[in-house]
Amino acid sequence: MTEIFTGSFTQQEPIPEEAIEAAVEVMRHGRLHRYNVAEGEAGEVALLEEEFAAQMGAPYALAVASGGYALATALRAVGVQPGDTVLTNAFTLAPVPGAIASVGAVPVYVGVTEALTLDLNDLEAQLVVPDHPRVLMLSHMRGHLCDMDRLMALCDAADVTVIEDCAHTMGARWNGVLSGRHGAVGCYSCQTYKHVNSGEGGLLITSDPEIAARAIMLSGSYMLYSRHRVAPTSEVFEQVKYETPNISGRMDNLRAAILRPQLRDLDQQVQRWNERYQQIETGLRDTTGLTVIERPETEDYVGSSIQFLLLDWTVEKIEAVLGRCAARGVELKWFGAPEPVAFTSRYDSWRYADTPAMPASDRILHGIMDMRVPLTFSLEDCAQIARIIRAEVAAVFQAGPA
């Protein structure tokens, strides 16, 4: 009998009861705006920032309206101006080059390896060019960390400021260092399909007091920056407050109340994601025609999604795998589709920037298959999903040329 998976790839776990109670309390008192607090009250957003900074080992943190807003704020805070060029991944999601374009800058793409990480050889080649970009917005796309030690050595030597897009790596580590703590700024998303869920929302961390002060002013603090519990001294704000525009994108107390309990459970949730990821990965190993993405020992990842490669497969055969898996209830996304579908677009889809051909990256992008791994899946669900993918990939591969 043919197995059919009946679970949902978009259904998240319920918000924890502690978070629901905290949110209800905020609604009862009605002080949703982060700066609307009672006498002696810190406010949920200020407490979230304080707790997240401590969790990440960073002196400064800022809570904002979305992960994309955090990225654009980081770019402005490090000094990116209209017309500047900014390096970023050819394999990423649209909000990353979108953030670059939103500040009037121009994305310059760096290739992708078969490990689905930034191609450091390509990066090195681009950094030896005179007048190379001075900022790299590094996307840890789908949770894959490149060799951060080598990357930082290259960027430090070339005087390149690194902004880390950690939307898929909250809680991940490279060589024991938390994702977001290598570069000048770490940016995180709290959107529903990320590692903590407030519907929308973002967080930003930095060790640089001037970047922190500019980010706080940019987010819409007016002159209320003294109400931030993890912020630079007033002297730093005096240097930037008259020249930093207000581009309001604050987080509110309701979303912060929902997030605080979830962040306290992050390590436990990471362990649960990785159990499910590893169950699927084990089931896919040694499937003819399918390449599993090997994770380096120096990487502590968060397996909230899983990718594999169908390298050098034709469009027709990949579409056959997608259709056969979908008929059995397994939703795969394909980053190599000729036209963008849902969230799956790639560097040549974003036509607001001229891009030279990237044939080595195109080959890899063409073969990337992607799948969410919600915590609503049981380990048995994950084993069944792996069996279905394995069977359908094998069936199409063995059928020969399309």
Task: Specify the pLDDT at position 354.
Answer: 84
Tell me what the mean pLDDT of segment 184-189 comes to: 98
**pLDDT band with cut points at 50, 70 and 90 for residue 339:** confident
CATH fold of 266-398: Aspartate Aminotransferase, domain 1 (3.90.1150)
Confidence label for 401 from pLDDT (cuts 50, 70 and 90): low
What is the per-residue pLDDT across 61-109, written as a single tens digit (0 to 9) for each?
999 999 999 999 999 999 999 999 999 999 999 999 999 999 999 999 9
Q: Mean pLDDT across the stretch 267-277?
A: 98
User: Is pLDDT above 90 for 399?
Assistant: no
Contact 372, 305 (CB under 8 A): yes
Average pLDDT, the chain: 96
Residue 330: per-residue pLDDT: 98
- Average pLDDT of the residues in 31-58: 96
> Considering the chain, what percentage of its residues have pLDDT values greater than 70?
99
For CATH 3.40.640.10, list the domain ranges present in the chain: 17-264
Closest CA to 147 of 175, 123, 171: 175
Task: Report the C-alpha gap between 303 and 306 in whole angstroms.
Answer: 7
- The separation between CA 123 and the C-alpha centre of its own chain, rounded to angstroms, equals 20
In the predicted model, what is the mean pLDDT of residues 308-312? 97
Residue 254, pLDDT score: 98
Report the relative pairing of strands 135-139 and 161-165 from DSSP bridges: parallel
Residue 162 backbone phi and psi in degrees, to 5: -105, 125
Residue with token string 């063409």: 366
pLDDT, residue 400, reads 67
Which pLDDT does position 169 carry in this prediction?
98
- Kindly state the average pLDDT of the residues 330-339: 93
Domain formed by 17-264, architecture? 3-Layer(aba) Sandwich (3.40)
Instruction: Tell how strand 299-300 and strand 291-292 pair up.
Output: unpaired
State the span(s) of the chain assigned CATH 3.90.1150.10: 266-398
**Complete DSSP assignment for 308-363:** EE-TT--HHHHHHHHHHHHHTT---EETT-SS-BTTB--GGG-TTS-----HHHHH
115-124, 170-179, 334-343: least confidently modelled range = 334-343
Confidence of residue 1 (pLDDT cuts 50, 70, 90): low
